[in-house]
Amino acid sequence: MLEARGLSIGHGRIPIGAGLDVAIQPGEILCLLGPNGCGKTTLFRTLMGLLPALDGTVLLGGKPITAQTRAEIARVIAYVPQAHAPPFPFEAQEVVLMGRTARLGAFAQPSASDRAAARAAMDRLGIGELARRDYSRLSGGQRQLVLIARALAQDTQLIVMDEPTASLDFGNQAQVLAQIETLAREAGTGGRGVILSTHDPDQAFALNARVLLMSRGGVLADGAAAEVLTDTTLSAVYDLPVTVETTPSGRRVCLPSLRQSAPTMTSDALTMA
């Protein structure tokens, strides 16, 4: 569905990462993990054609993304940004309805079915009561849920989420993760591809996701969470001792130490790990 080959990313002519290979298929969850500034958001924006690649190719549906219009891309990829400041005091339901724009022709007005899709997306996330509220006056967590509802209403094969659980409380984090898993595994649709970034390795375990572990703009490891997220790799990437343990229920969790730094490892050693 979406593939990058030999991708170099950056802002202007300043490179952040090079030689990146990324691919995601329907029904797959790809989780990007890594410290602040490692290039996750820049990679997202390049994969969606919002930033030009410094080198390499991004293919969407087998075609170079640079050869596709924004409308064509928007019918395949929905984006949930990390933060969003609206220029006007839209109602929350109007923000969600904007997700249907990719399905409309020029100068067309949203139909009854478009409005129904927007309402269904809000109800699915349990935020129907926010429909008539001023989006700009919602809490950060509420705005994040509205943006996720907008992506659901867009009804695409691929959803890209930049830290979708940021600003959410514990309960809403669990709800969003459950929705991500449902979207990817949904029967009858073949599933959607989901790419998300997070600072919480436990979320990758909970979603049984494939993990792209990044550091300084490079991919250090790519594979199943259980294989990639080990004591060794996590301790090196985050520069503190981390222990991965299994709970009695069988779920894996990461336990960082708050006391001492972990020894630094080279990229080669991490890749081998």
Q: How many CB atoms lie within 10 A of CB 107?
A: 5
How much is the pLDDT for 260? 58
Within a domain: 130:
no
Determine, yes or no, domain membership for 93: no
Q: What is the pLDDT along the chain (273 residues), one digit of tens a residue?
A: 899 999 999 887 788 888 888 999 888 999 999 888 888 888 888 999 989 999 999 999 899 999 999 889 999 999 998 767 777 789 999 999 999 988 776 667 889 999 999 999 999 888 999 999 999 898 888 888 899 899 999 989 899 998 888 878 888 888 889 888 888 887 555 678 999 999 999 999 999 999 999 887 678 889 999 999 999 999 988 888 999 999 998 889 999 887 655 455 554 544 434
Whole-angstrom CA distances from 196 to 55, 57, 74, 211, 214 are 23, 21, 17, 10, 13
Dihedral pair phi/psi, residue 24, rounded to 5°: -140, 140
Q: Is residue 195 part of a domain?
A: yes
Six-digit token pair at 5? 């080959």
The CA–CA distances, whole Å, from 15 to 21, 52, 182, 254, 267 equal 16, 12, 36, 32, 18
Instruction: Supply the pLDDT for residue 17.
Output: 84
Number of domains in the chain: 1
Task: Supply the DSSP string of 110-170, one letter for each residue.
Answer: P-HHHHHHHHHHHHHTT-GGGTTSBGGGS-HHHHHHHHHHHHHHH--SEEEEESTTTT--H
Residue 41 is predicted with a pLDDT of 85
* 168 domain-assigned: yes
CATH of residue 50: 3.40.50.300
Give the predicted TM-score (pTM) of the model.
0.85
Q: Which domain holds residue 169?
A: 2-76+156-272
CA dist 128 → 98, 113, 122, 131, 149 (Å): 16, 17, 5, 6, 10
| Per-residue model confidence (pLDDT) at position 269 | 47
Question: For residue 107, what pLDDT is reported?
Answer: 65
* pLDDT at residue 272, rounded to an integer: 39
In a domain? residue 212: yes
Q: Is 109 a member of any domain?
A: no
Question: Residue 179's pLDDT is what?
Answer: 85
Note whether residue 167 is domain-resident. yes
- State which H helix or E strand residue 226 sits in: helix 225-228
* pLDDT, tens digit, 9 for 90 and up, residues 7-36: 999 887 788 888 888 999 888 999 999 888
pLDDT at 146: 92
- CA nearest neighbour of 125 among 78, 179, 168: 179
pLDDT digits (tens, 9 = 90+) for 247-271: 998 889 999 887 655 455 554 544 4
**Is 131 inside any structural domain?**
no
How far is the C-alpha of 1 from the C-alpha of 158, rounded, in Å?
Answer: 8
